[in-house]
A = this chain, B = another copy of it.
């Protein structure tokens, strides 16, 4: 019997591998008797223990049968000597309605493709505090030795839920208890759980037009039917909500995303009355309320909700960093149990160490210090961006300034969509990542616009970016001033 040992690891495992290979390739046929252990050991120059251990292992795995003493035989049901022809194609039709709908959604990696632009103005890259990594590392190290590692809490660590109650009371005017707080893996998961708890396939969800597209992707994949409700300078136009209420209305009251306005007080009351009268639920996505520059944050819609119909969602991914994946929900009492069930079934609870680190960070003031740093720094970047826009683009752009958040919306009323697409393409060529506001609309807006994120760039980079932006605008203007070659040919 030829058995080649491959020299890796202990002798018995080399021998086991070699014999398996001989059996699977058919060199040792089904039913064949194996040599006695003593003989094989002498043949191979290994100890008899080695051979006994290998035979034991092969027996445990079913490759051979029989007992030491009465002889061992290759099992008659060992693996097919030839690997079976692969019959599964490399791509198949989706197996579920969910998978099918998910495949039809926009490719969410599109924006990531531009990440190599030197000056990238993508919305929502929040890591602006250069010392945060080291500070956070210390918090994690502390938490790893101060957290019970062997159990999870579905709803989230009580210490963190308490900190969040204090935080939303102080900054958002929300009075709640830790029992109504659920820790989740970011806003995305909050929307996923809400889909599970509130929406069967075909149920209706009303979204603002425009809105953050990943929310509509989520609801679409889940099979909900989407209604787009217009917004204006006071936020959601509540009078446009249908008489027959949807199951859920999702809003961004603090800072309409991405257009900018806050939902006015009268609209807030109108929306809450609508929910009370129709029995629909409201999801308040309070994604960047922490970041306000010229006025203090508006209190949350949830703080006015005497009827307990608002599902409030906050996230730490924006003010801390995207890779953290921690957010929280303040839930209506009637839905708490169902949300906890859904969270259990989704992942049994979020990782405990990061929760403990965050609770500690909040309790001892590190989080507030970080927030102050970020607000000061982003405020300065925002001023730099607006100054640069005014200097280099002048009245060619209309700035929709919201005094909040991580981006400025710049409308381009003198240009058409094709020109703005050309502008974006040209800017990308020159290393400047610009992004249209259109993907956040279900129907493109009448006027083209850009969502200019200013978190990822320093002040000096923002100056440079705005200068480049002005040059790109100049190029579009120049192209418009002289008829294109094609147009000239047509004229000829």
**A interface residues, Cβ below 8 angstroms from B:** 13, 16, 56-57, 60-63, 75, 77-80, 83-84, 86-92, 94-99, 102-103, 105, 108, 112, 115, 125-127, 132-134, 136-138, 140-145, 147-152, 185-186, 188-189, 192, 196-200, 203, 217-218, 221, 247, 262, 264-269, 272, 276, 295-296, 298-299, 304, 306-309, 321-326, 332-335, 337-338, 341-342, 344-354, 456
Contacts and interface: CB of A to CB of B under 8 A. Distances in A.
Nearest to A56: B295
Contact of A351 (B112, B115, B351): B351
B186 A79 contact: no
Contact of A334 (B91, B268, B341): B91
A150 B126 contact: yes
B151 A125 contact: yes
Contacts of A143: 137
A189 B268 CA distance: 37
A150 B323 contact: yes
Given A99-B196, A324-B351, A13 B307 contact: no
28 contacts: A13-B296, A56-B295, A60-B298, A75-B265, A79-B265, A86-B307, A86-B308, A87-B276, A87-B307, A88-B333, A90-B334, A96-B196, A96-B198, A99-B196, A99-B342, A102-B342, A115-B151, A125-B150, A133-B145, A133-B149, A137-B142, A137-B143, A149-B322, A151-B322, A217-B345, A323-B352, A325-B348, A347-B347
B96 A199 contact: yes
B61 A269 contact: no
A372 to B, nearest CB: 14
**Which of A13, A75, A295 counts the most B-chain CB atoms under 10 A from its CB?**
A295
Per CB-CB distance, the 5 closest pairs between chain A and chain B, nearest first, are A62-B265, A137-B144, A323-B352, A77-B266, A149-B321
A338 B149 contact: no
A349 B84 CA distance: 35
